[in-house]
């Protein structure tokens, strides 16, 4: 049962708790991102407030976890892989919290689309974009859950789909600007931009895990 190096169980438990809590927070954010996608593409105005409301516990959890990580940094003097993980955790927390805010920003655009005819709302593209963005984010949460360095290494390539669909959406919006009006154009630009940013945060999260595991940040402009 005992070995000469069998030490610091309590500290190990604290680190495990942080990782588990990051996964839980990431799952909460991912659920709200998917819901935001449905609210936008199906024009569910009555669910806008629910998405906004669901961001509050995300923010509370974010602050709580940030304080826990800060305290561990101060009290446990982490080094090597522990230090990398905790520094990565503070960055991941920020990326997750921002992604949650972006989901809120997305649903806030829905009201601006209210008068736009269904066939001109570009729902197909928005749906593809929200799916690609949510998948990227899910994959990032999986990287945290499994401490899988490979996901971060391939993340930028994986994210190319989001960038492509975002480009397609912007082109389509520009072509329809006379038909749908300026306000709807702006809303769709924002929606495209926010989903794309969420996917970028997903890429960053996976890359932070790569750094935590390997000590090297993946190549690319991250």
Partner 1 sequence: MADRIGTTVDSVDHTRPETLEDASPSLAATRSPRVTGGTPSDEHAVILELSDVNAYYGDFHAVDSVSLPIREKEVTAFIGPSGCGKSTVIRSINRMNDLIPTARIEGAITYHGVDLYAPGVDPVEVRRRIGMVFQKPNPFPKSIYDNVAFGPKISKYSGDMDELVERSLTRAALWDEVKDKLSDSAYALSGGQQQRLCIARAIATSPDVLLMDEPASALDPIATLRIEELMYELKQEYTIVIVTHNMQQAARVSDRTAFFSVDVKEGQRTGRLVEFADTATIFTNPQHDETEDYITGRFG
Residues within the interface to partner 1 (CB under 8 A): 1-2, 4-11, 14, 70-71, 74-77
Q: Give how far the C-alpha of residue 2 lies from the chain's centroid of Cα atoms, to the nearest Å.
A: 41
Q: Which is nearer to partner 1, 4 or 46 (CB)?
A: 4
* Structure tokens that stand for 170 in this block: 């912007």
Query: Minimum distance between the CB of residue 212 and partner 1, rounded to whole angstroms?
Result: 21
Residue among 200, 197, 25 at smallest CA distance from 102 = 197
Q: Between 70 and 217, whose beta carbon lies closer to partner 1?
A: 70
CB of 6 to partner 1, least distance (A): 8
Q: Round the CA-based radius of gyration of the chain to a whole number and report it.
A: 20
CB of residue 69 to partner 1, shortest distance in Å? 12
Collapsing DSSP to helix, strand or coil, 73 comes out as: helix
* Rounded Cα distance, 79 and 95, in Å: 23
CB burial readout 169-200, b (16+ within 10 A) else e = bbebbeebeeebeeebbebbbbbbbbbbbbbb
The C-alpha atoms of residue 49 and residue 220 are separated, in whole angstroms, by 38
Least distance (Å) between residue 88 CB and partner 1: 20
Shortest distance in whole angstroms from residue 71 CB to partner 1: 5
């Amino acid at each position: 049962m005992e070995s000469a190096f069998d030490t610091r169980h309590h500290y190990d438990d604290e680190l495990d708790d942080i990782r588990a809590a990051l996964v839980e927070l990431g799952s909460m954010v991912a659920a709200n991102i998917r819901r935001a996608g449905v609210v936008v593409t199906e024009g569910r105005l009555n669910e806008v407030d629910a998405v906004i409301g669901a961001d509050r516990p995300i923010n509370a959890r974010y602050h709580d976890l940030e304080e826990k990580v800060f305290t561990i940094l101060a009290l446990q003097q982490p080094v090597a892989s522990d230090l990398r993980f905790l520094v990565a955790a503070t960055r991941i927390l920020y990326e997750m919290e921002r992604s949650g805010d972006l989901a809120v920003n997305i649903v806030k655009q829905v009201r601006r689309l209210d008068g736009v005819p269904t066939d001109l709302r570009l729902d197909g593209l928005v749906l593809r974009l929200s799916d690609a963005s949510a998948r990227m984010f899910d994959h990032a949460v999986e990287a945290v859950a499994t401490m899988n360095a490979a996901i971060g290494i391939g993340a930028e390539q994986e994210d190319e789909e989001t960038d492509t669909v975002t480009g397609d959406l912007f082109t389509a919006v520009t072509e329809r600007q006379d038909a749908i009006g300026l306000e709807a154009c702006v809303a769709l630009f924002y929606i495209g931009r926010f989903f794309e940013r969420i996917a970028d945060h997903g890429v960053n999260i996976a890359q932070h895990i790569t750094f935590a595991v390997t000590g090297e940040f993946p190549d690319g402009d991250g």
